[in-house]
């Protein structure tokens, strides 16, 4: 019999879960790692919904899978407490504040008075250099601790610098997983298996797993055959949500490859939105709401924003429902752990490649830009300042200098 998730096993209502996660969505600044701290304080220390071991196992599960780890952690807690409805309520509460702000920023950025916001928006481009540089450094320390995994990262940088196309990034990540499975088992250790009670019928997990992979196949075909822009949006954002490993910052190069070359959004507008989302609490994947709002075509505006953000988060729901009952077996499998090690090493290379193009090439045009980006990086890395404070400071600096 799998152990209970918490001493209080009574399911929470969708409304109560929404309100709990709404408060977290309004206050959880700092990215996924910081989000885990907020979650542990709320659900382990304060509410005692989970034990430390329970919470650690949930975080490990979400780190193992593609998608936004902190959002998936919230989705999983919602599943445990309130089933499918609880998962939706938890995600909506956590993501809604930043979704609304990013849609609003999309209207501001696309408005007729855009010219007067040129310098503040440029500051958002510059701050992205500091944020992505810090993320790449931190992930390199965690995911490339030896020369073998360092080679995975270097090879990824070279591939992405020399080969371009929509499928290059996901193909590279998949290849890294396969190579890790074959080459890295001796460098990794599987964790001791630990299972949770599953509060939904197993057939629901089977259907969710089939749907996860079926949509990856069906959506591109529908988009090609119908040429309907709305289906193309769902296809591209779903694919990114289904294939991105390594946390929120890794979504940057994958989304850029999906929307910028097609002319749906300019590179400068793309980077301005990415800079803006750094100042917000909640999940970084809500950047999709901004992109859907400002992209050309129909739907756009707030409808496009909602379509894009729903599409990028849908794989997380399907994946968590499908995999959760089988997590114990995966955690005890050395081959699966080795494949993840290869993927994580490739993710470091993915971020390094993105740091140059499009982040650096979009933002750095003068020595003052270099100085602002360097200052932001130093404050993030050594002063441990929250990212939103660095965003505000860099935007003010860019406005004053300009």
Residue-wise pLDDT for 40-89, tens only, equals: 888 988 898 887 767 866 776 776 678 888 899 999 999 888 888 999 99
Q: Is residue 351 part of a domain?
A: yes
Interatomic CA distance for residues 337 and 349, integer angstroms? 19
Q: Is residue 10 part of a domain?
A: no
Which has more confidence, 314 or 118? Answer: 314
Kindly report the average pLDDT of the chain as a whole number.
83
Q: Is residue 197 part of a domain?
A: yes
Question: Residue 395 has what pLDDT?
Answer: 83
CA dihedral 40, 43, 47, 51 (to 10 degrees): -80
Question: Residue 284 has what pLDDT?
Answer: 87
140 pLDDT more than 60:
yes
Q: Is residue 68 part of a domain?
A: no
pTM: 0.74
150 pLDDT more than 90:
yes
pLDDT in tens, 276-312: 887 788 898 999 999 999 998 888 899 999 999 999 9
Q: Is residue 54 part of a domain?
A: no
Question: Residue 249 has what pLDDT?
Answer: 67
Kindly report whether the peptide bond that precedes residue 358 is cis, defined as omega within 30 degrees of 0. Answer: yes
Query: SS3 of 264, please?
Result: coil
Domain that holds residue 319: 119-401
pLDDT in tens, 342-385: 887 887 888 788 788 777 887 888 899 999 999 999 998 898 88
195 pLDDT more than 50:
yes
Distances from the Cα of 186 to the Cα of 38, 87, 147, 154, 261, angstroms: 35, 37, 14, 21, 40
Q: Is residue 108 part of a domain?
A: no
Interatomic CA distance for residues 38 and 198, integer angstroms? 25
Question: Residue 2 has what pLDDT?
Answer: 39
Question: Residue 104 has what pLDDT?
Answer: 93
Domain count, the chain: 1
What average pLDDT does this structure show over 237-241? 94
Q: Is residue 51 part of a domain?
A: no
Which has more confidence, 160 or 117? Answer: 160
Q: Is residue 182 part of a domain?
A: yes
């Amino acid at each position: 019999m799998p152990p209970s998730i918490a001493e209080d096993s009574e399911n929470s209502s969708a409304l109560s879960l929404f309100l709990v996660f709404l408060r977290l969505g309004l206050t959880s600044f700092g990215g996924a790692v910081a989000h885990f701290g907020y979650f542990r304080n709320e659900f382990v220390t304060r509410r005692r919904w989970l034990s430390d071991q329970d919470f650690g196992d949930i975080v490990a599960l979400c780190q193992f899978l593609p998608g936004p780890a902190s959002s998936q952690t919230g989705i999983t807690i919602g599943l445990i407490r309130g089933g499918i409805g609880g998962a939706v309520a938890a995600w909506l509460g956590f993501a809604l504040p930043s979704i609304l702000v990013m849609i609003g920023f999309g209207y501001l950025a696309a408005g007729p008075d855009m010219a007067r916001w040129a310098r503040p928006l440029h500051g958002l481009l510059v701050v992205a250099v500091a944020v992505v540089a810090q993320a790449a450094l931190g992930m390199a320390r965690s995911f490339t601790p030896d020369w073998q995994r360092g080679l995975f990262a270097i090879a990824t940088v070279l591939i992405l610098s020399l080969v371009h196309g929509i499928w290059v990034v996901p193909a590279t990540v998949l290849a890294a997983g396969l190579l890790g499975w074959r080459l890295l088992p001796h460098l990794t250790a599987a964790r001791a298996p630990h299972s949770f009670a599953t509060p939904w019928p197993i057939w629901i997990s089977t259907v969710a797993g089939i749907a996860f992979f079926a949509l990856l196949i069906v959506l591109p075909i529908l988009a090609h055959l119908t040429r309907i822009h709305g289906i193309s949006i769902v296809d591209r954002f779903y694919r990114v949500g289904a294939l991105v490993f390594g946390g929120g910052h890794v979504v940057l190069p994958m989304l850029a490859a999906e929307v910028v070359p097609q002319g749906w959004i300019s590179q400068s507008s793309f980077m301005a939105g990415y800079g803006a989302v750094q100042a917000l609490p909640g999940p970084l994947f809500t950047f999709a709401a901004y992109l859907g709002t400002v992209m050309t075509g129909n739907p756009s505006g707030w409808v496009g924003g909602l379509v894009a953000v729903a599409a990028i988060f849908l794989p997380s729901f399907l994946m968590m429902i499908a995999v959760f009952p089988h997590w114990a077996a995966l955690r005890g499998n050395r081959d699966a752990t080795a494949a993840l090690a290869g993927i994580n090493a490739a993710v470091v290379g993915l971020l390094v490649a993105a740091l140059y193009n499009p982040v650096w090439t979009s933002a750095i045009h003068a020595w003052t830009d270099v100085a602002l980006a360097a200052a932001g990086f130093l404050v993030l890395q050594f002063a441990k300042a929250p990212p939103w404070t660095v965003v505000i400071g860099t935007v003010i600096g860019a406005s004053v200098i300009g």
